Every structure is written in C-alpha cells, then in structure tokens.
C-alpha cells in the first residue's frame, strides 16, 4: 500500500514560495478630503524681490494625504473670484505630521528646497486658499487674507508682512491666530509631531487572509498595517518569516509604506512531504530587529493510505550492455588543461563492449550539452581499462567548486556518473580505490587496486545462518583529531557564495563522511571525501544546506558520536570578509580563500620612489619588518598540527602574533626616532 498526504488547516492554510505583493493605500481619500492647514505665507523679499513668495502647508494627520484633486488659489484685495496658483492633478503625498512648500519659480535663494514651484506671485492685501475641486465652487479646506483685503477669504486683520517676514499660524492643530515672524520655510523633509506623540515609533499589526486551498497546494495572504508614526522604507524594513525554522526575509512590495497604510503579500507553497503539524508566523522587521504584532497559522498534514498501483511492465533490456563504469578522472593536468583532461573507464563484464555513439558530458541528465564528447568507433574489452582524453573544445572539468561527469549510452540512459567537490590538486586523479573515492597519484589505463574484477553476485543458495550466531564487534569510530574549522564566509559579496572551510591538521587522511557540521541547532552531514593531511575543504552550496546568519552564529564540527571536534563563534558579519584562523585566533580578512591557505589582508604602504631620506629608510625598514611578520603569520598558520610524540595528542601551533607585536614595537620606535631626532 502507498501513503498519500492530505492537507487541512485548523486556522488557516498558509505557505511560502512565490510572492506577489499587493499594496493598499488607505491614506488617499479623494471623495472625502482630509484636513490640511495653511501654516505660513511670505509675499516679498524686499525692494526688487517681489517674486520671493512662498506658501507652506501642514498635514496634522497621523497618515499621509494625497494632494491630487486639490488646488492653491489666490484673490486680490476686493475680487471674490479664484485664480489658480497650483493645481494638483497627480499623486502628491504629504507625509504624516509634515509640511509641504510651494514657492515662486524665481525665488532661487529660498532657504528650503520647494516641493513645487509655479510663476504665480503674491502681494499686499491679497488672500490665498486651499480648495478641493473646481475654482470658486470646490470645498474650501483653509484660507487666509491680510492687510485691507475684503475678498471672501478668512481675514486675520494683520498688516501686510514686510521683506523676509511671514504670516505664521500659531497652533497647527486647531483653528488659531496668525502672527508675523521672520520667515523660516519648511518642506516635506520636516516633521513636527503633536505634543504627546513620540518621535519615530515603529509599530505594526498583522492579519492572515484566507485565499484558497487545493489538495497539497495552499495559498494564503498576510496583511501588515503601519500603526506607528514613521514610514517604512524598503531599504531597511522587511517581513520576517519566523517559523518554520529556516530564517527568510520578504521585501516590501513598495519603496515606502506610510503610517496608516497597509500592504498584502500573497503566498503559495506545496505541503511538506511528511505528516505533522506545521506552524507559520510572520512579523515586521527593521535592520534585523522585529517590531509590532505577529500573525501565525497552523498547517496540518495527515497520511492517507491508498491501494498500491498496478506494477509497471519491466523495461526492455538496453541494446548495449551496462558493464562499464567510470573509475578515474584527471580534471587538472600539469600545465595547460585544454585537450589534456582524461576520463578512465573499466569494463567489469565478461564481453567486449562497443562504445560507438556513447557520450561523456559534465551534466547529470539527458539531453547532453553542446560541448558533450561523443565517442567514435571504439571498444573496451572485458576486464580492461580505457583512458579517454577529452579533446579541446569539448566539455572541461572544473578545478574549483567540484563537478560531475556522466557516461550515457546512445539512447540517453545513464551508465555511470561520478561527482567530486572542492579544489582539485594539480596532476592528481580522482580515483576509485576499493570502494572509496579519493585523490591519488595517476593510474590511468591500469588497475586502481584493489578494484574488483567483476560485479559481486548474490549466491543462489546462501549458507544458512548458524543457530547461535556471534554478534560482531562494532567498529570503533574513526579518530578525527586534527580536523578543525579554519574559515567562515557568512556575508559574501555579489557573485560569491557562503562557505565553511575545514582543515586537516593531522598526519593522515581523514574521511569527512564521519563528521557533521552543526550551525546553531541544525546539523548537516558531510560528503564522502578523503581529505589529505594539510588539506583544505570548502563546504558550500548544496553541501552546506544551512544558511549562515549575518548577525553571528556558533558553528560546531562534530564526530559521529556527537563529540565536538572544533567550535567557532563568529560575531556580526562584515560584508565581503571571511572569519579566518591565524595562529590560535580568528580574525576578519578581506582576502577570501576557500579551499586554500588563509591570507590576512594587511596592506603596508611602501616609501615613495626616489625618497632615500633617513626618515624614509627607517619607515621602510619597520614596514618591511611588519610585512615579514604578517607573511610569517600566513605561512605558520597553514602548517599541519603535529601530534605530541609522547601522548599522541595533536600539538599546538606556534603563535606568530608575537612577530607582529615585535614589528609594531619597531615601527613605533622608528616613529619616535624620526620625531625626536629628525632622522
């Protein structure tokens, strides 16, 4: 019988995978205009500066207001008809508790950059108004007139302001008087919060929206509302998925989410493959710190037993025998690689195999690439090896990062495939020796002892088990002493990848399959790879499996039985820098070396050419001493850890940090000599 999964939700079915953001701007209200006030007006800059005019608006609301549909108008002293100063017919947002500044286009020396300009001017005994709708008939949101005007706008009974002076509203949050003050124009970059409202408060509410459910596919939505008084910018704010485990961030669907605005995210996923109860939750986040309320839901997956399907008919036998396997690869020959890379095949069958139209390629499945190498009229005898050189212009095996090589028969079936990882040593081959793959001296075209001569067969009449069989002793776990973590790259630059580098400081080769990598509370198995003494191995891509947090993490290297072999805790990551071992200490370095000896990036300036003064000579000598100490550090830290001759335990490396201390002391002494004695 087979088992199938059935999905049902106790609260709401949710998933994540493909994202489509839908934003809703609750701040824009064209049919019911929000309250805005005229906060300041200047009508002249003095003699000859009659165009130095500005009008300042203020939004006293805790949400942004769109000026689309509004217009600024003016009236002269005794005319009761509007003339337009500025018509707003596109989306123009005033942030919450912020100002908006119009100025005459000729006012070039204004102290704040205007949000908009036109050529309209203001004068003595005028009036201005903010209207929603058409001239004269639209709703008058706010108005003010000054001097001896009688034009239908609200009169404030003040004299005309003089050069560089403004009519300023005393209280922005209620109908209040104006007074004449020295001008200080403010634009949308200025926010003035009402009394009792804290500055820059991030807060959010979250809700879950049910969309649809179909079989093992679930679709849902989440909605976040900005309930604080500060805007959310896509450059620093995001949605954090807190569960299931495996941190992920979801970008905002718009560049800015203002206070009082909301946005929706639509989420879809295939149900987990195993039965159980799965919890999903989300929260807003700013620069790695969560804030506001979170929302969550539970997904239940149950097993359903279904009848076994009818057995499929056995496939017809392949036209060519499949008794051929790949036994050796030479990806990195000495010198130029082009036209010198080799793949070795072995025929473990009892008959000669014709390889005509068989294909070698560095992919895992059919169809093959345009660089695949199709074999010609060639055969391989039973029990024989065949070394095939890949011509220049065909596929090439990678020297770093690993690769795969596959042998296909003419119908596209996979006959044999081999995958290697890490950095390839020059001139050595990746060989099958017994039942283990590893890097060895080349044996192309001859046996890789003790390779079996034929595929093992199951005897027809196996011997019956004895009545009282003896329980075989369990093999001891291999000794992995000397295997350590040597470099961590958690925040790669663009085009690079995360990795954790291992180093074998013992005197013998160690197989990584007997170790595990633990990142936080998650554990990943390591590949079946024989790491030689003094060798490095970079765990990356699919092998790493677990993402490295930029905020810092503890990484452990464990043995099969869970014993800690090596443990490193790195702090908050530096972009494009790796946390690498130098001597007994880890340091950040800008030179990233996966699979290679660590290099401390220390740039020491050389004296200028032609400068042969005593001062330059002293500085150069101290500088060279410092650089020599750093190079000693790089060299010393890469040496294998030799075991103690009496105890057999791994010894400690010397600490070349002392050399840097001596060099720095020399450099400071030299600087003192230059200062004191003028050398």
Architecture of domain 37-182: Sandwich (2.60)
Average pLDDT over residues 355-372: 91
CA 504 to chain centre: 30
Cα separations (Å) of 487 from 89, 268, 356, 537, 572? Answer: 58, 37, 47, 10, 15
Exposure b/e, 287-321, CB count within 10 A at least 16 = b: eeeeebebbbbebbbeeeeeeeeeeeeeeeeeebb
Average pLDDT over residues 169-198: 88
Average pLDDT over residues 304-313: 70
Site of tokens 């009036």: 127
Give the percent of the chain with pLDDT over 70: 73
To 10 degrees, what angle do helices 614-636 and 657-677 make? 170
Question: Which range, of 183-197, 437-451, 477-491, 644-658, averages the lowest pLDDT?
Answer: 644-658
Domain 324-440: assigned CATH number: 2.60.40
324, β-bridge pairs: 347
HEC string of 13-73?
Answer: CCCCCEEEEEEECCCCCCCCCCCCEEEEEECCCCCCCCCCCEEEEECCCCCCEECCCEEEE
pLDDT surpassing 60 at residue 132: yes
HEC string of 323-382?
Answer: CEEEEEEECCCCCCCCCCCEEEEEECCCCCEECCCCEEECCCCCCCCCCCEECCCCEECC
Domain 2-26+200-306: assigned CATH number: 2.60.40.10
Q: How far apart are CA 361 and CA 371, in angstroms?
A: 7
Single pTM value for the model: 0.35
pLDDT in tens, 75-88: 999 999 999 999 99
Is the separation of the CB atoms in 271 and 5 below 8 Å? yes
pLDDT surpassing 50 at residue 29: no
pLDDT in tens, 439-457: 988 888 888 765 444 444 4
Do 324-440 and 37-182 have the same topology in CATH? yes
pLDDT in tens, 210-269: 655 555 456 668 899 988 877 888 878 888 877 666 557 788 888 888 888 898 888 766
CA dihedral 580, 582, 588, 589 (to 10 degrees): -90
Average pLDDT over residues 365-390: 91
Exposure b/e, 641-656, CB count within 10 A at least 16 = b: bebeeeeeebeebebb
Instruction: Tell me if the bond preceding 244 is cis, omega within 30° of 0.
Output: yes
pLDDT surpassing 80 at residue 354: yes
Confidence of residue 286 (pLDDT cuts 50, 70, 90): confident
Give the pLDDT of residue 102: 98
Give the pLDDT of residue 661: 56
Which positions ≥6 away from 609 have C-beta within 8 Å? none
Give the pLDDT of residue 643: 46
Q: How far apart are CA 345 and CA 477, in angstroms?
A: 33
Which positions ≥6 away from 156 have C-beta within 8 Å? 144, 145, 146, 167, 177, 178
Is the separation of the CB atoms in 290 and 249 below 8 Å? no
Q: Residue 469 is encoded by which pair of tokens? A: 């069989």
Secondary structure of residue 77 in the 3-state scheme? coil
Q: How far apart are CA 422 and CA 150, in angstroms?
A: 86
Give the pLDDT of residue 218: 61
pLDDT surpassing 90 at residue 117: yes
Average pLDDT over residues 152-164: 90
More confident residue, 376 or 677: 376
361, β-bridge pairs: 406
The full DSSP string for 472-536 is PPPPPPP--TTEEEEEEE-SPPTT---EEEEEE-SSS-EEGGGEEEEETTEEEE--S-EEPTT-E
Class (C level, CATH) for 483-589: mainly beta
pLDDT surpassing 70 at residue 159: yes
Domain limits, the chain: 2-26+200-306, 37-182, 324-440, 483-589, 614-677
pLDDT in tens, 552-584: 889 999 988 888 999 999 999 999 999 999 988
587, β-bridge pairs: 580
Confidence of residue 477 (pLDDT cuts 50, 70, 90): low
Q: How far apart are CA 58 and CA 41, in angstroms?
A: 12
Confidence of residue 133 (pLDDT cuts 50, 70, 90): very high
pLDDT surpassing 90 at residue 299: no
pLDDT surpassing 90 at residue 282: no
Average pLDDT over residues 478-496: 91
Strands 578-582 and 248-251 come out as: unpaired
Mean pLDDT of the chain: 79
Other Cβ atoms less than 10 A from the Cβ of 668: the count is 11
Instruction: Tell me if the bond preceding 367 is cis, omega within 30° of 0.
Output: yes
Confidence of residue 208 (pLDDT cuts 50, 70, 90): confident
Question: Which range, of 55-64, 293-302, 530-539, 585-594, averages the lowest pLDDT?
Answer: 293-302
Average pLDDT over residues 479-486: 92
Give the percent of the chain with pLDDT over 90: 42
DSSP symbol at 627? H
Confidence of residue 673 (pLDDT cuts 50, 70, 90): very low
pLDDT in tens, 497-527: 999 999 999 988 899 999 988 887 778 888 8
Other Cβ atoms less than 10 A from the Cβ of 590: the count is 14
Which positions ≥6 away from 646 have C-beta within 8 Å? none
């Amino acid at each position: 019988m087979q088992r199938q999964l059935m999905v049902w939700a106790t609260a709401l079915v949710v998933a994540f995978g493909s994202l489509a953001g839908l934003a809703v701007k609750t701040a824009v209200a064209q049919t019911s205009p929000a309250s805005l006030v005229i906060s300041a007006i200047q009508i002249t800059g003095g003699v000859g500066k009659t165009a130095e005019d500005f009008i300042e608006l203020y939004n006293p609301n805790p949400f942004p207001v769109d000026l689309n549909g509004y217009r600024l108008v003016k009236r002269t002293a005794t005319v009761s008809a509007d003339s337009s100063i500025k018509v707003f017919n596109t989306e123009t947002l005033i942030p919450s508790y912020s100002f908006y500044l119009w100025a005459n286009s000729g006012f070039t020396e204004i102290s704040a950059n205007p949000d908009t300009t036109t050529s309209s001017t203001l004068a003595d005994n005028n009036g201005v108004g903010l209207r929603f709708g058409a001239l004269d008939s639209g709703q008058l949101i706010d108005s003010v007139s000054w001097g001896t005007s009688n034009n239908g706008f609200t009169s404030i009974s003040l004299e005309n302001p003089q050069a560089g002076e403004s009519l300023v509203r005393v209280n922005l949050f209620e109908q209040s008087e104006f007074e004449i003050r020295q001008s200080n124009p403010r634009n949308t970059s200025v926010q003035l919060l009402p009394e009792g409202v804290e500055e820059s408060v991030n807060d959010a509410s979250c809700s879950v929206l049910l969309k649809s459910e179909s079989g093992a596919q679930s679709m849902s939505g989440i909605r976040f509302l900005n309930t604080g008084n500060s805007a959310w910018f896509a450059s620093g704010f995001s949605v954090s998925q807190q569960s299931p485990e495996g941190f992920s961030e979801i970008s905002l669907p718009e560049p800015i989410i203002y206070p009082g605005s909301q946005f929706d995210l639509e989420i879809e996923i295939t149900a987990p493959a195993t039965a159980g109860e799965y919890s999903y939750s989300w929260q807003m986040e700013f620069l790695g710190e969560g804030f506001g309320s979170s929302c969550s839901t539970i997904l239940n997956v149950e097993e359903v037993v279904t009848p076994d399907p009818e057995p499929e008919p056995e496939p017809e036998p392949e036209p060519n025998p499949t008794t051929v396997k790949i036994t050796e690869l030479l990806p990195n020959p000495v010198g130029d690689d082009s036209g010198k890379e080799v793949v070795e095949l072995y025929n473990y069958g009892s008959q000669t195999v014709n390889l005509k139209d068989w294909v070698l390629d560095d992919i895992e499945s059919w169809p093959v690439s345009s660089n695949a190498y199709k074999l010609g009229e060639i055969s391989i005898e039973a029990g024989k090896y065949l070394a095939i050189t890949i011509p220049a212009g065909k596929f090439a095996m990678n020297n770093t990062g690993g690769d795969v090589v596959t042998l296909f028969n003419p119908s596209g079936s996979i006959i044999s495939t081999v995958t290697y990882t890490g950095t390839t040593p020059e001139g050595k081959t990746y060989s099958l020796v017994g039942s283990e793959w590893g890097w060895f001296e080349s044996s192309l075209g001859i046996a890789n002892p003790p390779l079996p001569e034929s595929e093992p067969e199951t005897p027809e009449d196996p011997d019956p088990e004895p009545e009282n069989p003896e329980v075989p002793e369990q093999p001891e776990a291999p000794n992995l002493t000397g295997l350590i973590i040597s470099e961590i790259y958690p925040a790669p630059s663009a085009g690079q990848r995360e990795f954790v580098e291992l180093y074998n400081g013992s005197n013998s080769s160690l197989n990584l399959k007997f170790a595990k990598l633990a990142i936080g509370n998650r554990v990943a198995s390591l590949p079946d790879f024989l790491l030689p003494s003094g060798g490095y191995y970079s765990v990356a891509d699919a092998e790493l499996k677990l993402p490295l947090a930029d905020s810092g993490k503890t990484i452990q290297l464990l043995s099969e039985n869970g014993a800690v072999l090596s443990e490193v805790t790195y702090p908050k990551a530096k972009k494009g820098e790796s946390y690498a071992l130098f001597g007994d200490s880890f340091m950040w370095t800008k030179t990233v070396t996966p699979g290679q000896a660590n290099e401390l990036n220390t740039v020491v300036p050389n004296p200028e050419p032609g400068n042969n003064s005593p001062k330059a000579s002293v500085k150069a000598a101290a500088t060279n001493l410092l650089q020599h100490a750093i190079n000693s550090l790089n060299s010393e830290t890469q040496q294998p850890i030799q075991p103690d001759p009496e105890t057999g335990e791994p010894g400690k490396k010397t600490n070349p940090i002392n050399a840097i201390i001596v060099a720095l002391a020399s450099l400071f002494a030299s600087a003192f000599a230059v200062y004191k004695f003028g050398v």
